Chains A and B, each alone.
Chain A
């Protein structure tokens, strides 16, 4: 029987640095959900939402509705996202011709979709290996708990799969 011998090579440089070796992993590994999204990305999304609120009737040429009220509700949800779930990345934000605003997140874990109207919202979260979960309610009283579910469902990272932050 042939045996494959793998040469592990020389020790990695960091193992020779006592300062590094003495650090606890938690000093170097920060779960993605605790990382903050750059301010300029948040500002760009907020500018997009402001633009959506200003759309005139028939903005798509196919008799689209204005998005003023739904846009305000979407802005409020985005403020909740920014202030209470700082690790949640920006969604793709789009107006629909029905006068609603959609927010979509995608990750390797699955997808989440929130559509916000003048008075109601609809949401589904579909993990790659599961059945979709459906949520709906009053658009003016969406709470951060919905965004927490989005974050935990498709962006939560187990401790063993954390990201290395060297800087």
Chain B
């Protein structure tokens, strides 16, 4: 893996793992795919420019849990510039693993409780903007180790 700068550059390709059933509806990614982890404003993503497609897929498959019916389905792709223009931030978080980053949604979601309604609206608006920019690549061969689908590029 290449040396990874801490700064996330505008043209970088950013990837989010997509799993069924709660990230998809009728085969399309939904806003739930961009809900932050509790007590943070962070959505876990990967820096594709430094990890490559195969490593992104391998990490995505680690999220699978057949016991709870959580199945890896594919990868959602954005550019860092698109994330920022959706009103969000992005920061490197290599302490999770090299190549990991977090989209900063700007609204911290409490554990077990909803945000204030004004914040809930702001968060939903940002998730929708991310969704509009999202280029979703369904994995044609989710069982295989390597990525065999189309080249992972952001929506133009």
A residues adjacent to B (C-beta < 8 A): 55-56, 58-65, 69-70, 92, 94-100, 113, 115-124, 126, 132, 134-136
Q: Which residues of B contact A113 (CB under 8 A)?
A: 120-121, 124
B112 and A97 within 8 A (CB): no
B35 and A96 within 8 A (CB): yes
Q: Which residues of B contact A62 (CB under 8 A)?
A: 37, 44, 63
Q: Which residues of A contact B124 (CB under 8 A)?
A: 113
What is the bound-complex CA distance between A136 and B62, given in angstroms? 37
Q: Give 11 CB contacts A-B under 8 Å.
A: A58-B65, A94-B32, A98-B38, A98-B114, A100-B112, A100-B114, A115-B120, A117-B114, A119-B113, A120-B114, A124-B118
Q: Which of B30, B37, B64, B113 contacts A100 (CB 8 A)?
A: B113
Least distance between A125 CB and chain B CB atoms (Å): 10
Q: Which residues of A contact B68 (CB under 8 A)?
A: 55-56, 59
Least distance between A72 CB and chain B CB atoms (Å): 12
Q: Which residues of A contact B9 (CB under 8 A)?
A: none
B91 at the interface (CB under 8 A from A): no
Q: How many residues of B contact A (CB 8 A)?
A: 32
Least distance between A45 CB and chain B CB atoms (Å): 14
> Which of A55, A62, A124 has the most chain B CB within a 10 Å cutoff?
A62
Q: Which residues of B contact A118 (CB under 8 A)?
A: 112-113
B129 at the interface (CB under 8 A from A): no
B residues adjacent to A (C-beta < 8 A): 17, 19, 22, 25, 30, 32, 35-38, 44, 62-65, 67-68, 70, 109-121, 124
B70 and A121 within 8 A (CB): no
A61 and B63 within 8 A (CB): yes
Least distance between B97 CB and chain A CB atoms (Å): 14
Closest to B65 in A: A61
Q: Which residues of B contact A100 (CB under 8 A)?
A: 112-114
What is the bound-complex CA distance between A44 and B48, given in angstroms? 39
Least distance between A106 CB and chain B CB atoms (Å): 11
Q: Which residues of B contact A94 (CB under 8 A)?
A: 22, 30, 32
A132 and B114 within 8 A (CB): no
Least distance between B86 CB and chain A CB atoms (Å): 18
A65 and B38 within 8 A (CB): yes
A122 and B116 within 8 A (CB): yes
Q: Which residues of B contact A98 (CB under 8 A)?
A: 35-38, 109-114
Q: Which residues of B contact A70 (CB under 8 A)?
A: 112
Closest to B17 in A: A61
Closest 7 CB pairs of A and B: A61-B63, A115-B114, A117-B113, A134-B117, A122-B114, A122-B117, A98-B109
> Which of B32, B64, B116 has the most chain A CB within a 10 Å cutoff?
B32
